[in-house]
């Protein structure tokens, strides 16, 4: 809100009850609907307290699929009574807590509608969400230019009309041309009586009411005051959250020995981990931190997320010369990084005290040998998590994080 952002397309209320889900992953709180509902409701409350509109997603739930709707059209065949127990439960909890907006998902739920994905389904959005569940807030689409829509449900114009007819209030696009085409199509559809003016007025009323509720109509602007102070405060808070999230899933690891030689391997990070690093990776970050703490023999390798055979062979040969080895990988299981899977399993054979870190989704252990002794999860590959992990490797605190999933481990 301070920076002029008045709506956050979060929280994700998907229950990640499919360990092979390639896209939801760490955006979900858990594979337990109660944990998802509790944490999601708390986040909505925090956003509302800060006068930011929350948007729970992806209704009715994107967790139980192994297909990414950015690139395909998933179908979930779960019976309706089970949907109520798992997928729908966090959304119903959020609605009861006063959620202001909900984003749809481009998935066919065959128990409700065998033809259209939720985004384009009147049965899902109007009959189920509005009439049966009693939701009165805004309904937003997921990206209308994702393949699940564009490959299967006509042109931009045709899909926009279907979405509005289904009950959508706001349509989301990532291109400049998409909104213009959709707007023209919707206006023409109203003029041709394909969409009633009453249907348009319903959505306009909901949008205006939210703008009034969140003071977005008159005199609203971003603020430039206290920026440095606020950023420092938020950085400290993020670092503390990251430390508290570190989870020792397996083993009795309590820190490295600075008198032993140490090898650290990780992929490059997508987000900046700070300035001055030789490589933008956890391995480089940790090496720099440990060197500053008196470690004298630390070697770091930055590799691809799915490690190349050249790097794998080189590191496996080098690993024989090191006493303690840390390998931090990212989404090996859910992204099917088979070369990284083989690499870690070969390291397990070489070094029984190997420390393996799952940087993002915690499911990576499913790809590794049962002989893995030390397995750590941190749920994020960003600067705060690297800050926490480096200090954890140095034995500065005890891991107190709790694994949020029960299936597949």
Distance CA 1, CA 329 (A): 35
Is 311 a catalytic site residue?
no
Distance CA 80, CA 95 (A): 19
Q: Which of 14, 31, 113, 142 is catalytic?
A: 142
Query: Active-site residues: which are they?
Result: 142
């Amino acid at each position: 809100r301070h920076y002029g952002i008045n709506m956050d397309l979060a929280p994700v209320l998907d229950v990640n009850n499919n360990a092979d889900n390639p896209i939801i992953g760490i955006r979900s709180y858990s594979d337990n609907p109660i944990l998802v509902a509790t944490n999601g409701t708390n986040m909505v409350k925090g956003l509302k307290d800060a006068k930011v509109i929350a948007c729970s997603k992806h209704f009715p739930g994107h967790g139980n699929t192994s297909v990414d709707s950015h690139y395909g059209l998933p179908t979930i065949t779960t019976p309706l009574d089970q949907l109520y127990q798992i997928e729908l439960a966090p959304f119903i909890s959020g609605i009861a807590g006063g959620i202001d907006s909900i984003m749809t998902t481009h998935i066919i739920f065959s128990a409700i509608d065998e033809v259209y994905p939720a985004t384009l389904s009147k049965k899902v959005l109007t009959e189920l969400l509005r009439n049966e569940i009693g939701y009165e807030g805004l309904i937003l689409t997921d990206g209308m230019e994702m393949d699940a829509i564009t490959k299967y449900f006509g042109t931009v114009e045709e899909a926009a009309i279907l979405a509005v007819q289904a009950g959508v209030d706001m349509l989301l696009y990532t291109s400049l041309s998409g909104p213009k085409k959709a707007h023209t199509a919707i206006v023409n559809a109203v003029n041709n009586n394909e969409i009633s003016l009453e249907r348009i007025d319903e959505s306009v009323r909901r949008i205006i009411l939210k703008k009034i509720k969140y003071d977005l109509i008159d005199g609203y602007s971003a603020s430039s005051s206290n920026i440095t102070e606020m950023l420092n405060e938020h950085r400290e808070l993020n670092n503390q959250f990251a430390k508290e999230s570190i989870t020792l899933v397996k083993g009795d690891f309590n820190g490295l020995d600075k008198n032993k030689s140490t090898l650290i391997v990780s992929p490059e990070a997508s987000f900046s981990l700070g300035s001055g690093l030789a490589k933008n990776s956890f391995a480089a970050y940790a090496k720099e931190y440990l060197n500053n703490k008196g470690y004298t023999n630390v070697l770091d390798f930055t590799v691809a997320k799915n490690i190349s055979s050249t790097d794998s062979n080189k590191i496996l040969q080098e690993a024989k010369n090191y006493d303690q080895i840390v390998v931090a990988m990212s989404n090996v299981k859910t992204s099917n990084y088979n070369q990284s899977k083989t690499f870690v399993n070969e390291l397990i054979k070489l070094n029984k005290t190997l420390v393996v870190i799952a940087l993002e989704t915690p499911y990576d252990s499913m790809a590794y040998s049962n002989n893995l002794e030390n397995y750590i999860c941190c749920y994020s590959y960003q600067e705060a998590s690297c800050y926490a992990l480096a200090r954890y490797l140095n034995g500065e605190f005890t891991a107190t994080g709790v694994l949020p999933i029960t299936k597949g481990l």
